[in-house]
Amino acid sequence: MNDRYLRSHRFWSGVVGFGAYGLLLAIDFLTETETRSMGEVFGDAFELALIVASATGVALLSGSVRQVREERRMLMEDLRVARAEGEAWRQRAQVHLAGLGEEIAAQFEAWQLTTAEREVALLMLKGFSHGEVASLRGTTEATIRHQARAVYRKSGMPGRSAFCAYFLEDLLPGLDGGRSAGPIRDRPSAGNGGADREPTASPMQFESTRR
């Protein structure tokens, strides 16, 4: 829309400029009583052309400046709206993240994880590899692998993918109405074979029961 407006503005500015040039030239010839040479005529015509061209250029420049100002105003308005929406999203996310952190801590407590195992579990949830976790905690990778296996055993999860999915599946939209959550949460614990283990509730289910 802005390009179309600019092209139209340039076209009509040119039409007005040439029209003004022709009108001034005609008035000059009609009001001139003295006989002049062709050089004088061309000189006067050139001066008029410069005047009209300058006026047309000023008009075009003024239109371009107005367009730039309008585009800048619209961009600033879009930026303001985007910032407001981003801030609102961050505030909502902080509330949910705080609640999620509490539910994760409660689930770790229910699984009776040690302090070291909780730290390892959190770092794995954040996506760190065993080697990176070992570097962050100042220990060996073998120790981290041993602690990770303890986390999987106490939580009843067969491995890291299932452990992470346990906490993430309620945060992501599902294609089957949440039915895919069952196989992970109902999987029996490796420690007791599932004979006396109840299905483990998700962090979101903990939150709903507290309400």
Tens digit of pLDDT for each residue in 194-205? 333 333 444 444
Look at residue 42 and tell me if it is in a domain: yes
Report the pLDDT value the prediction gives residue 58, as an integer from 0 to 100: 73
Look at residue 93 and tell me if it is in a domain: no
Helix axes 38-110, 203-210, angle to 10 degrees: 80
Tens digit of pLDDT for each residue in 46-58? 676 677 677 777 7
Look at residue 98 and tell me if it is in a domain: no
The CATH number given to whatever domain includes residue 129 is 1.10.10.10
CB 180, CB 174: distance < 8 Å:
yes
Which portions of the chain are predicted below pLDDT 70? 1-46, 48-49, 52, 96, 170-211
Look at residue 58 and tell me if it is in a domain: yes
Let me know whether 78 and 145 are in one domain. Answer: no
Let me know whether 168 and 204 are in one domain. Answer: yes
Nearest to 99 by CA among 180, 177, 199, 205: 205
CB 182, CB 205: distance < 8 Å:
no
Report the pLDDT value the prediction gives residue 12, as an integer from 0 to 100: 60
CB 25, CB 45: distance < 8 Å:
yes
Report the pLDDT value the prediction gives residue 211, as an integer from 0 to 100: 38
Nearest to 97 by CA among 118, 125, 117: 125
Q: What is the largest CA-CA distance in the chain?
A: 121
Let me know whether 121 and 79 are in one domain. Answer: no
Domain span including residue 176? 111-210
- How far apart are the C-alpha atoms of 146 and 98, rounded to whole Å? 29
Let me know whether 61 and 137 are in one domain. Answer: no
* DSSP summary character for residue 173: -
- How far apart are the C-alpha atoms of 134 and 132, rounded to whole Å? 5
Let me know whether 53 and 136 are in one domain. Answer: no
CB 105, CB 167: distance < 8 Å:
no
Let me know whether 117 and 205 are in one domain. Answer: yes
Report the pLDDT value the prediction gives residue 138, as an integer from 0 to 100: 92
Let me know whether 118 and 81 are in one domain. Answer: no
Nearest to 109 by CA among 199, 159, 101: 101
Look at residue 99 and tell me if it is in a domain: no
Look at residue 94 and tell me if it is in a domain: no
Let me know whether 122 and 204 are in one domain. Answer: yes
- How far apart are the C-alpha atoms of 157 and 163, rounded to whole Å? 6
What is residue 37's three-state secondary structure? Answer: coil
Q: Name the domain count of the chain.
A: 2
